[in-house]
Amino acid sequence: MGTSLAVGGSPLLGLDLQGGLSVIYAPDEPADDDQLILVQDLMRDQLESFGIAEPDVRVEGQNIIADLPGVTDQEKAFAALNVSGIVSLRPVLACAPIATPDVTGSTVPASTTPTATSAPATTVVDEDDEQSFPSLHSADDSARVARRLASPPVTTDEGEVVLSLPGNTDGSIVDDSVPVDSIDLDTVPETTAPAADSTPTSQPSVPAELPEGYNQLPYPGAGLECVVGPSGGSGEVFERKSAVAGIDQFTGGWVVTVNLRSDGEVLWNELAAECYAGSSACPTRQLAIVLDDVIQSAPTVQARTFSGSVQISGSFTEEEVSQLASVLNRGAFPVQVHQERVETVSPTAGQGSLKAAIIAGLIGVALMLAFMIWYYRRLSVVIVSGLLVWGSLVFALATWVSRSTNYALTLAGATGIIVAVGVTVDTYVVFFERLREEMRHGRVMANAAPRSFASSWRTILSADLVSLMASLILFWLSVGSVKGFALYLGLTTVCDLVVFYFYTRPAVYLLASKGWLDRQATDDKIGALA
């Protein structure tokens, strides 16, 4: 306990002891245990990435319960728990700047003039390939693409190159009467991009209806709206929890590296080959990563095939790469869930519960110690010191368990600890009563102590093992607060066995060998032992 306190450690308190938020989710359709456990893991990862410390997320039947001790910001908690989005991979056909309204309320078209920037393009490359691929931002490439698509490229602040559909110089989306996949890029006549100071005469327009499978989606990070083709795959192509943000050792920029699943690599390479070739299905060479119909990133594919992993690079900030990695990690979402109930526990109520639990425990321990001191006299020294050792061990283990397994100390757990105090005292009663029997037969304390321990140890071990098995079964079969009660009851039972064997036994042996507990060593004949 001293070590735990010295390093500032203490058991994590549960929702009912410090207040906070509890949110209960249920699947839209019946789900198996593996699916619910995956959702639980995704929620826990999201909560930790949002900076919500030590969340308690667990599966109980068909429900997923997220207890967030100390959290009072519901909006932040709901955003972190929103992990039901499905990640899809869709080719980008064209993008246009989002039109913004002016102060009078009318819509001002965004300029389609290329914006100069020195930021590198966002690209996706094969991590194992050390070749440096040419950037799409080179002057020759930009000019070639602009001529073929008959409109200038629009370069975002993040450095990503996006293109308008063929045939438009004003950045508008082409009429849906022309199928996107039927456009021959080589037959598009060259046009001249408007001057930097020219004012477009028309704003980007959106067709009333796109062909089936095509959608116009927002790209908030770039301030664009893009037309994307049918989904070619989902986040299931990526290996679970493999996306990590890091710094490229060659460029010094932020990158996201994600591993491909063995059964998803073929699908990913089919999509990558289409975009790398700049086919009519993916003329911009960009593959959009879409979550909940919002484009999270649209990197340019810089390799035809990938082996094992994919690296996405660009002019990212640390926050942006962390968010992208989080999106990729939650792509394989197995089941849709909905929020069923939200419960809020005020910090005042939690502190009141904690105070009441402490007072109840102290009163019980004080009454028990008073009786032990009156009944066992000098032997009560062993009881008091043994309880202090036991309490220190329980405190240290409770700190470790709550911080390493997310099983915070709840009111039910505190009840289990208080009940265990009685179990621990029973251990002393069994030992000392056997000691009294030996003393009645005329043996001195030095001889009576080892004989008493040998006979009482079997009884104590059997009783504690039964208690331990009961707590394990209760923990395995129960849910909610009962599980916390079972956990700490079992933990304290183990502590009782350890303290009795490694502290109480040698302490009694030592005092007996010194004659301090022998009937000739005291005038009062050791109280009840006389």
Residue 10 lies inside a defined structural domain of this protein: no
Is residue 173 located within the same domain as residue 285? yes
Neighbours of 415 (CB within 10 A): 18
Beta strands 56-60 and 63-69, pairing class: antiparallel
Q: Last residue of some domain: 342, 366, 391?
A: 342
435: nearest Cα among 514, 523, 496, 511: 511
SS3 content of the chain, % helix, strand, coil (to 5): 45, 20, 35
In the prediction, which pLDDT does 430 show?
A: 93
In the prediction, which pLDDT does 54 show?
A: 65
Is residue 94 located within the same domain as residue 80? no
φ, ψ dihedrals at 206, nearest 5° = -115, 130
**Cβ 479 vs Cβ 473: under 8 Å:** no
Is residue 365 located within the same domain as residue 243? no
Q: Last residue of some domain: 304, 329, 354?
A: 329
Residue 243 lies inside a defined structural domain of this protein: yes
Is residue 366 located within the same domain as residue 401? yes
Is residue 71 located within the same domain as residue 117? no
421: nearest Cα among 368, 355, 353, 473: 368
In the prediction, which pLDDT does 453 show?
A: 93
Is residue 323 located within the same domain as residue 198? yes
Is residue 144 located within the same domain as residue 100? yes
CATH code where residue 497 lies = 1.20.1640.10
In the prediction, which pLDDT does 441 show?
A: 83
Is residue 239 located within the same domain as residue 196? yes
pLDDT in tens, the chain (530 residues): 555 555 557 888 888 888 888 889 988 888 888 878 878 887 887 787 676 666 788 888 888 888 888 787 778 788 778 766 678 889 999 888 876 655 444 444 444 333 333 233 455 655 544 333 333 333 333 333 333 333 333 333 333 333 333 333 333 333 333 333 433 434 333 333 333 333 333 333 445 577 888 889 998 888 888 999 888 877 778 887 788 888 888 888 888 888 888 888 888 888 889 899 988 889 999 989 888 788 888 888 888 888 888 888 877 788 888 888 877 776 556 677 888 888 887 777 767 877 888 888 889 889 989 998 898 888 889 999 999 999 999 999 988 888 777 677 888 888 889 888 888 999 999 999 998 888 888 788 888 899 999 989 999 999 999 999 999 999 988 776 788 889 999 999 999 999 999 999 999 999 888 877 665 334 444 444 43
**Cβ 382 vs Cβ 526: under 8 Å:** no
96: nearest Cα among 116, 110, 114, 108: 110
Is residue 317 located within the same domain as residue 370? no
Residue 487 lies inside a defined structural domain of this protein: yes
The count of domains in the chain is: 3
In the prediction, which pLDDT does 164 show?
A: 30
In the prediction, which pLDDT does 468 show?
A: 93
Residue 114 lies inside a defined structural domain of this protein: yes
Residue 374 lies inside a defined structural domain of this protein: yes
Q: What tokens were used for 511?
A: 């005092």
Cα separation, 285 vs 451, whole angstroms: 84
Question: Within 13 Å, how many C-alpha atoms sit on residue 465's CB side?
Answer: 6
In the prediction, which pLDDT does 156 show?
A: 38
Residue 2 lies inside a defined structural domain of this protein: no
Q: Last residue of some domain: 281, 315, 342?
A: 342
Measured CA distances, 368 to 186, 261, 364, 425 (Å): 92, 61, 6, 8
Characterize 35-62 residue by residue with b for buried, 16 or more Cβ atoms within 10 angstroms of its Cβ, and e for exposed. bbebbbbbbbbbbeebebebbbbbbeee
CATH code where residue 72 lies = 3.30.70.3400
Domain that holds residue 30: 20-84+337-342
Residue 9 lies inside a defined structural domain of this protein: no
Is residue 184 located within the same domain as residue 323? yes
Is residue 74 located within the same domain as residue 180? no
Q: How far apart, in Å, do the first and last CA atoms of the chain sit?
A: 37
Question: Within 13 Å, how many C-alpha atoms sit on residue 507's CB side?
Answer: 20
Measured CA distances, 223 to 110, 201, 217, 439 (Å): 10, 21, 11, 89
**Cβ 293 vs Cβ 350: under 8 Å:** no
Measured CA distances, 47 to 3, 44, 321, 331, 480 (Å): 29, 5, 17, 16, 20
pTM of the complete model beyond 0.85: no
Residue 15 lies inside a defined structural domain of this protein: no
Is residue 236 located within the same domain as residue 352? no
Residue found by looking up tokens 């943000």 in the block: 245
